[in-house]
Amino acid sequence: MKCTYACGTDSHLLARRQFLGALGGGFVVGGLGALTQGQAAEHLKTNQMRVLVVYLSGGVSQLETWDPKPKTDTGGPFRAIPTAVPGIHISELLPHTAKHMDKLSLVRSINTKNGDHGKGKYQMVHGRSQMPGVDYPELGAVCARSLERANSPLPGFIRVGGGGRGSDAAYLGPKYNSIGVDGKPPANSARIDSLTADVDKLRQNLRRKANDRFFSTRRTAETDVYTQSYEQALQLMEKRDVFDVNLESAADQAKYGKHDFGKHCLMARRLLENDIPFVQISHTNYDTHNENFNFHLEQMGEFDQPFATLISDLHERGMLKTTLVVVMSEFGRTPKINVRYGRDHWGTAWSVCLGGAKIQPGAVIGKTNENGTKVIDREVDHGHLFHTYLSALGLDSSSFFNIGGRELPLADPSRAVISELIA
């Protein structure tokens, strides 16, 4: 697809520079135009907000985590235990996290009306339901663009636990696609010994000149992707040590644990400390159609200590007030226990945990009935959550991106912020 660019005349270029300078980060707050954008950009620069998403892949059970129902026909064998917040109880599988619930909050009234893995994940990371022929940017790309650090050499959206480059920014452009890392510097990110820095600089300058000449007559969206990928690779090479979790102390590595999830939590802390706007880590194997209780006993045992350690570290380092933390999944699990002692897909009444940034700590939003089969208070869905995440970062979730003259809303206009969750 061809891109539309300025004609190249001096008057056009001057007007375009003035316009872009006023727009700052590229979105218009509340539809008020360029002047408001400057204030928003300064606000974000001062606060340096960032996001950590912990994605529990497969559909974690709300009954074995955030909304236990012990001694009911759906509750299963695990108890509910008290937390650091009087009156809030969570599953006994999360004893370490329970000690930090005064820094976190729960939404127990989610109804996404969906039990499909792919569609459920799309809802949770895009804040909208999937529609044929329409693609929206993921939360990570929206935050990478909206919270962009001027002149930062590092990518704004990093996935820990996978490699390669994602395709998750949609109309925001390839600059805001995710980059996958795995606790060590990206592959091929060190300059080979036989190539000196001076020679490499000459090579890159020659490449840029060739690109500029090509762009003057044949520039397309595809060539922009190609060029931006090269430039970001060079920037990653300059900051490759940021991605090396082995540079953390032996004591820190030990307290997070030697398993992958522990390493990824420590990696997330390292990236957030280096001011990456959006970091996502994952923990898998929650699709528990069989042996739900044994699987959650194992999975929560691996999740609980590193996650609680990460929350504690962010708090002690003064970072939690500027870091939104969200623990999400694509849906929950059925209250009814099946014949294989499992729980099936359930998008009708389930929970997420979140905290930090402008989230009111120690809150519980919504309620399910006695055995968890339906929401009976403050029903919300993925759209409300998406608005809430943005609002917790100090963004106006009702604002829009201006993409090629089109106004594209940051979040679903038919939904709104869960206002009582914002401090």
N-to-C CA span, the chain: 44
In this structure, the answer to whether residues 272 and 373 fall within a common structural domain is: yes
Residue 4 lies in a domain: no
Residue 8 lies in a domain: no
Q: What is the dihedral of CA 249, 254, 260, 261, to 10 degrees?
A: -100
In angstroms, what is the C-alpha Rg of the chain? 23
In this structure, the answer to whether residues 170 and 287 fall within a common structural domain is: yes
What was the pLDDT predicted at 236?
72
- Could you tell me whether strands 50-56 and 27-28 are parallel, antiparallel, or unpaired per DSSP bridges? unpaired
Residue 309 lies in a domain: yes
What was the pLDDT predicted at 32?
30
**Under 8 Å CB-to-CB from 405, ≥6 apart: which residues?**
none
In this structure, the answer to whether residues 147 and 266 fall within a common structural domain is: yes
- Could you tell me whether strands 375-377 and 367-368 are parallel, antiparallel, or unpaired per DSSP bridges? antiparallel
What gap in Å lies between CA 167 and CA 179, rounded to an integer? 9
**Under 8 Å CB-to-CB from 319, ≥6 apart: which residues?**
272, 273
Alpha-carbon distances, residue 137 vs 130, 174, 358 (angstroms): 12, 11, 23
In this structure, the answer to whether residues 306 and 370 fall within a common structural domain is: yes
Query: Could you say which residues of the chain have pLDDT below 70?
Result: 1-47, 186-187, 221-222, 225-226, 228-229, 232
What was the pLDDT predicted at 47?
63
Instruction: Tell me the pTM.
Output: 0.83
Asked if residue 267 lies in contact with residue 181, where contact means CB atoms within 8 angstroms, the answer is yes
Which CATH number belongs to the domain containing residue 32 in this structure? 3.40.720.10
**Under 8 Å CB-to-CB from 200, ≥6 apart: which residues?**
191
What gap in Å lies between CA 180 and CA 227, rounded to an integer? 19
Of 66, 68, 116, which Cα lies nearest the Cα of 331?
Answer: 116
**Size of the chain in residues:** 423
Residue where a domain stops, chosen among 217, 243, 269: 243
Asked if residue 351 lies in contact with residue 372, where contact means CB atoms within 8 angstroms, the answer is no
What gap in Å lies between CA 166 and CA 399, rounded to an integer? 25
Alpha-carbon distances, residue 421 vs 100, 308, 366, 384 (angstroms): 17, 21, 11, 11
Please state the domain count of the chain: 2
In this structure, the answer to whether residues 296 and 348 fall within a common structural domain is: yes
Of 294, 370, 366, 368, which Cα lies nearest the Cα of 74?
Answer: 370
Residue type for 245, please?
Answer: V
Chain position carrying tokens 């490759």: 240
Residue where a domain stops, chosen among 204, 221, 243: 243
What was the pLDDT predicted at 228?
67
Of 265, 194, 271, 264, which Cα lies nearest the Cα of 240?
Answer: 271
| Residues 84, 99, 379, 63, CA torsion sign | negative
Strand partners of residue 402 = 407
In this structure, the answer to whether residues 93 and 114 fall within a common structural domain is: yes
Residue where a domain stops, chosen among 218, 243, 268: 243
Residue 210 lies in a domain: yes
In this structure, the answer to whether residues 180 and 190 fall within a common structural domain is: no
In this structure, the answer to whether residues 356 and 228 fall within a common structural domain is: no
| Number of other residues whose CB lies within 10 A of the CB of residue 254 | 10
Strand partners of residue 165 = 179
Residue 132 lies in a domain: yes
In this structure, the answer to whether residues 339 and 210 fall within a common structural domain is: no
Chain position carrying tokens 């696609």: 177
Alpha-carbon distances, residue 405 vs 27, 385, 401, 402 (angstroms): 11, 28, 9, 6
Residue 145 lies in a domain: yes
Q: What angle do CA 295, 300, 306 make, to 5 degrees?
A: 145
**Under 8 Å CB-to-CB from 333, ≥6 apart: which residues?**
59, 60, 61, 62, 63, 64, 288, 292, 343, 344, 345, 346, 350
In this structure, the answer to whether residues 32 and 79 fall within a common structural domain is: yes
Q: Token digits for 169?
A: 């920014």
Alpha-carbon distances, residue 274 vs 89, 149, 360 (angstroms): 34, 11, 25
Domain holding 213, by residue range, is 186-243
In this structure, the answer to whether residues 213 and 229 fall within a common structural domain is: yes
Residue 2 lies in a domain: no
In this structure, the answer to whether residues 172 and 190 fall within a common structural domain is: no
What gap in Å lies between CA 186 and CA 161, rounded to an integer? 12
What gap in Å lies between CA 292 and CA 40, rounded to an integer? 46
